[in-house]
Amino acid sequence: MGDAPPEQRFTELYRASHGRVLRFVARRVDDDAEAEDLTAEVFRIAWDKTTGGDVLTPAWLFVTARHVLSNHHRSVRRGDSAYRKAAVTGPRADERTADLVAEVLERLPEAHRDVLVHRYWDDLTAGEIAALTGLSASAVWVRLHRARQAFKRSYGAEVRHAQR
Amino acid sequence: MPSVKRLMRDANPVPGDRPGTEARAEARLAELLGGPARTAAPRRRILVGVAAAAVVLAGAVTVGAVVLRDAAPPSSPASDQPFYPTAGELEGSAEAIVRGTVGATRASAGETVATFAVSRVATGTPRPGSSIRVVFSASGPEQADGIRQGGEYVLLLQARDATSWNLVNTTQGYYTVDRGRLVPTAGNPVTLGPPTTTALGLS
């Protein structure tokens, strides 16, 4: 793919990654139209880079999406790590479960919360999470393992508390 | 308690794309590339238009465009992988640890089915000289994509059913044998213990 013409490289990357990048962005803003506009900005930057000779990866797109989101959140004075509330917008989840998951995520340390969200909501690979977090891929697996353990403990406690 | 993966995925606030996303994405791609003059209508204008039409037609309860069309691509069940930080835990998770060579492979429903000729056995029921069937994910975010036909590997296996095996996970379930040494995948920091490597005839 690295030897392909820039337009072909970009088109392949765009079609393979647009949906994932859009959903990544949409989980971090409150408005669908905003999410599409911010995603378009990510790919505009990617196209500029591609015409400049860079060979980009999906991981690069997610890192760029985070920067674009960060600028956006600064402009609207929101925190970077804000996620949509699953209990409010998640149409598939059992509402009580979604509430509990949201509460547990809120209470986890940010590093644990982020790795769980990247893995299970954003569907990122260990390599992509590594690019976003600055960790090695093996450290991502270790962190994910610990985050799952922490989530289980906290979720179990929430369920027991709810049953009292 | 359901798995963490299941709980998280069930609570995913944006599990799939909104209607019309793909068409707008293609239009924006064409704009970027300077292709056909298909102008992407601004998203906000579309939403306003849809809402207005629905109000006229039906009083419009469900227009809010929260109906999801394309769900995110399903991931392999193997992607909720346990991670084993030590050799003891990793080897303890395996029902069989074998050395051998990958023979024929075929794709089946998002998985790869490989015939594996066993040459040495550290633990488990496979016998040296036998062939076993190993099934691993060929889709989803994590795949055992370092396994190649003709390559020599050490596999850490769990029984899938009476006739086939799964890797314990896609990053720690196999090691490549390269000139008598074990090479783990990039995401696997664990070195197998000396008793195991000795049983497999490796340094």
Q: Confirm or reject contact between B191 and chain A (CB < 8 A).
A: no
Do A104 and A147 form a contact (C-beta atoms < 8 A)? no
> Which is higher by pLDDT, B36 or B63?
B36
Calpha distance B149→B139 (Å, rounded): 18
For residue A115, the model assigns a pLDDT of: 93
Give the model's confidence band at B155: pLDDT under 50 very low, under 70 low, under 90 confident, else very high: very high
Rounded mean pLDDT of B81-104?
89
Question: Residue A85: what pLDDT?
Answer: 52
pLDDT in tens, A26-40: 999 888 888 999 999
What the block records as the tokens of A153 is 């403990």
Q: List C-alpha distances in Å: B46 to A85, B32, B52, B122, B148.
A: 25, 20, 10, 63, 48
Between A88 and B120, the more confident residue is B120
Min Cα separation B38/chain A (Å) = 15
Q: Model pTM?
A: 0.56
Interface contact B171-A126, CB threshold 8 A: yes
Percentage of chain A surpassing pLDDT 70?
Answer: 85
Number of A–B residue contacts, CB under 8 Å: 136
Of B124, B144, B140, nearest in space to B132 by CA: B124
B196 pLDDT tier (thresholds 50, 70, 90): very high
Say if B27 is an interface residue toward chain A (CB within 8 Å): no
Residue A31: the pLDDT is 85
What is the mean predicted confidence (pLDDT) over B103-110? 82
- Chain B interface includes A91 (CB < 8 A): yes
In this predicted structure, the answer to whether residue B9 has a pLDDT above a threshold of 90 is no
Q: What local confidence, expressed as pLDDT, does residue B46 receive?
A: 41
Query: Which of B32, B66, B139 has the highest number of chain A CBs within 10 A, making it the mutation to test binding with A?
Result: B32
Task: Give the contacts of B24 (CB within 8 A, at least 6 positions apart).
Answer: A36, B40, B41, B43, B46
Q: What is the mean pLDDT of chain A?
A: 84
Q: Do A86 and B33 touch (CB under 8 A)?
A: no
pLDDT digits (tens, 9 = 90+) for B163-187: 889 898 888 999 999 998 999 987 7
For residue B94, is pLDDT > 70? yes
Q: Residue A155: its chain B contacts at CB < 8 A?
A: 1, 4, 7
Say if the ipTM goes beyond 0.85: no
